[in-house]
Amino acid sequence: MNINLRLFLIIFAIFWFVLTSYFLKKNKLPVKYSLVWYTIIFIMLILGAFPNILVLISEFCGFQVVASFVVGVILTLMIFITLILTMIVAEQKKKITLIIQELSILKEKIQNEK
């Protein structure tokens, strides 16, 4: 594997690690979700350090270029994360709807009692 790609992978992983830790510290990212990112970063570091694993897997999967394998994996991961986010958003929308409804009914009740 190209040394530049390996370097890029490692630098990117470190950058990502710092970013995730920063948001975690600022309480913007729940610990629950940070674990997913840390796992991904960890895998990236391992692959950057030992590229042979990557070459083996990508050949096994039938990719001709390792780089396109990396892109493919990341893309799959992103789609998966987007799907989960869509579900979380839908769940939140349900809860917000419930709050708006109950609050509005309550407000009407209070106004009537005045």
Q: With DSSP H G I counted as helix, E B as strand and the rest as coil, what are the percentages for the chain, rounded to 5?
A: 90, 0, 10
Residue 100 touches another protein, criterion: CB under 8 A: yes
Q: Which of 64, 51, 55 is nearest to 6 (CA)?
A: 51
Q: How far is CA 38 from CA 11, 34, 53, in A?
A: 15, 6, 20
Binding flag, residue 86, another protein (CB under 8 A): no
Binding mask 45-84 for another protein (x = CB under 8 A): ----------------------------------------
User: Smaller CB distance to another protein: residue 71 or 93?
Assistant: 93
Instruction: Report if residue 88 touches another protein, rule: CB under 8 A.
Output: no
**Cα 19 to Cα 77: distance, rounded to the nearest angstrom:** 19
The answer to whether residue 104 forms part of the interface with another protein (CB under 8 A) is yes
Question: Contact between 97 and another protein (CB under 8 A)?
Answer: yes
Q: Within 10 Å of residue 86's Cβ, how many Cβ atoms?
A: 10
Contact residues toward another protein (CB under 8 A) are 93-94, 97, 100-105, 107-108
